[in-house]
């Protein structure tokens, strides 16, 4: 942490954008997730007038058919989760209750708390990058750390686990260079 004294948690533009990004990015590589996110912008985004497109709002994305997303390389379940989440948020579901939604687990809820809601004490338990970075920092193998171990280790950083997570992600990015 001393190497990055000014590191800030990178926040999404709003909680819905963080939720969509979390769903779209689950269990696929970043490049493909970015491509799928661009598909959402092309289908339901709002043109800004400068050649750019803003990410879709919940009410707009709720009107998209999962079949339309499926035709554009979304898996059936990912398409259903994205549209279902958009419908729930458009209908007024508070972000604090997203874990009730189909396809939204502990990792997604933690990610949205951290990147979408800006909570200071959240950890996306189950995040593979976080687990890898912790394992490296502790001189252990990645496979030796289970989600329960990650949760236990991260307890020492409460009430600022979000900052610890951001530093661990940054540490992993540094190691990739």
Q: Please report the pLDDT score of residue 176 as a whole number.
A: 63
Q: Please report the pLDDT score of residue 52 as a whole number.
A: 86
Per-block mean pLDDT, blocks of 10 residues, the chain (177 long): 80 94 89 93 89 91 97 96 97 94 92 94 91 92 91 95 93 72
Q: What does DSSP assign to residue 147?
A: H
Name the H helices within 3-90.
15-25, 30-44, 58-61, 66-70, 76-90
- pTM summary value: 0.87
Rg (CA), the chain: 17
Tokens read off for 112: 């949205």
Separation of alpha carbons 16 and 13, rounded Å: 8
Name which of 139, 119, 101 is nearest 11 in CA terms: 119
Name which of 25, 8, 172 is nearest 108 in CA terms: 25
């Amino acid at each position: 942490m001393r190497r990055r004294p000014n590191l800030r948690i990178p926040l999404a533009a709003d909680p819905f954008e963080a939720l969509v990004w979390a769903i779209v990015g689950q269990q696929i590589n970043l490049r493909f997730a970015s491509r799928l996110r661009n598909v959402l912008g092309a289908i339901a985004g709002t043109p800004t007038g400068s050649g750019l497109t803003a990410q879709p709002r919940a009410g707009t994305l709720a009107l998209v058919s999962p079949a339309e997303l499926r035709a554009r390389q979304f898996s059936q379940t990912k398409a259903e989760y994205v549209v279902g989440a958009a419908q729930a948020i458009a209908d007024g579901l508070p972000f604090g209750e997203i874990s009730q939604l189909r396809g939204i687990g502990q990792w997604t809820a933690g990610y949205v708390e951290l990147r979408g809601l800006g909570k200071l004490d959240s950890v996306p338990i189950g995040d593979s990058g976080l687990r890898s970075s912790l394992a490296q920092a502790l001189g252990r193998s990645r496979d030796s750390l289970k989600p329960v171990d990650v949760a236990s280790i991260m307890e020492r950083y409460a009430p600022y686990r979000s900052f610890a997570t951001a530093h661990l992600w940054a540490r992993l990015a540094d190691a990739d260079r």
